[in-house]
Amino acid sequence: MIEEASTTIITTDRVNKMDRMVDLHTHILPGVDDGARDTAETLEMARQAAGRQIRVVAATPHFLGMEWDQIKAETEKLRKLLADHQIDLMVTAGAELLIDPALIDLAKEEIPTYNDAGRYCLIEFPMLELPPYAEQVFFSLQVKGITPIIAHPERNREVIADPNLAAHWIESGCLIQINANSLLGSFGPQVQRVSEIMLKHHMAHFIASDAHSAGRRGFHLGCSVEKAQRLIAPEIAAKLVSTNPARVIAGEPVEVPEVIRYRQQRRFWNFGKQRRDD
């Protein structure tokens, strides 16, 4: 049975005990963005998540044109919907912010943070470029005590060209979320390769579904973690969908391992050995 709907902070303890996954990035709220179109699709997504060993999802709609209070109210409605349908899935409020200089001027309370804890937010770049004001926006959030979690940077063209950009953001206090579908190859071989590089070089702190439906862009966390467990230590891969996201929702510090710089492979045709370090 689902636990009583609550607006209180979900503690790490409470989440970890359940030994099921925590998904930090979903578009499960009905009719607010390009995710679930209506409550029927939301319910289909929720049943899929619950059936695939996901215990907690953060509802992270695109923040464009929405107010944080509205997202929190919609999330509360979703909790009631899930309880009415006896779907065993906890849901907490969040949002996916598109990086924008206007964020600098928002008061802390206006900025959507996970579980309204004022500690972490999810922020994405446009797909092609890295805006010149990105660092300023990150810094302004950090000054307010909010740690930016960068959503799926492996899909950005400039990060594909230079994965060490992620190392730089981590060293300046950001965290990184990669998409389950990136690791599984749904966005093509380049995105898949960069997501693998990021995993192996300690440049990924979370794997999340970024689910938009119960179909191709559904909850593919389980397969993705299995894939990650073949690339890095299985217990570290497991943390990316359990301990780490649970800590975010609880507003607690996430353990950040030292980043390993990615060194591009070079081909020296006159020398027999080719260095492989990705």
How open is the CA angle 226-229-231, to the nearest 5 degrees?
A: 120
Amino acid at 53: Q
User: In this complex, which beta carbon is closest to Fe ion, that of residue 107 or of residue 127?
Assistant: 127
96 binds Fe ion (CB under 5 A): yes
Name the one range near Fe ion by CB under 5 A: 186-194, 204-212, 222-230, 253-261: 204-212
User: In this complex, which beta carbon is closest to Fe ion, that of residue 23 or of residue 210?
Assistant: 210
Q: How far is the CB of 233 from Fe ion (least distance, A)?
A: 28
User: In this complex, which beta carbon is closest to Fe ion, that of residue 88 or of residue 210?
Assistant: 210
154 binds Fe ion (CB under 5 A): no
Name the one residue in this structure whose structure tokens are 């899930």: 82
The two three-digit tokens of residue 76, written as one number: 């509360």
Q: How far is the CB of 43 from Fe ion (least distance, A)?
A: 20
User: In this complex, which beta carbon is closest to Fe ion, that of residue 139 or of residue 187?
Assistant: 187
41 binds Fe ion (CB under 5 A): no
Answer yes or no: are the C-beta atoms of 167 and 203 closer than 8 Å: yes
Strand arrangement of the beta sheet that strand 96-98 belongs to: 96-98, 120-124, 147-151, 175-179, 206-208
Q: How far is the CB of 154 from Fe ion (least distance, A)?
A: 13
- Give the CA dihedral 239, 97, 102, 145, nearest 10 degrees: -30
33 binds Fe ion (CB under 5 A): no
* Packed helices 189-200 and 221-231: angle between N→C axes, nearest 10 degrees: 60
210 binds Fe ion (CB under 5 A): yes
User: In this complex, which beta carbon is closest to Fe ion, that of residue 41 or of residue 210?
Assistant: 210
Q: How far is the CB of 27 from Fe ion (least distance, A)?
A: 6
Answer yes or no: are the C-beta atoms of 35 and 212 closer than 8 Å: yes
Name the one range near Fe ion by CB under 5 A: 7-15, 181-189, 190-198, 207-215: 207-215
CB-based contacts of 171, cutoff 8 Å, min separation 6: 259
Binding residues (CB under 5 A) for Fe ion: these are: 96, 210
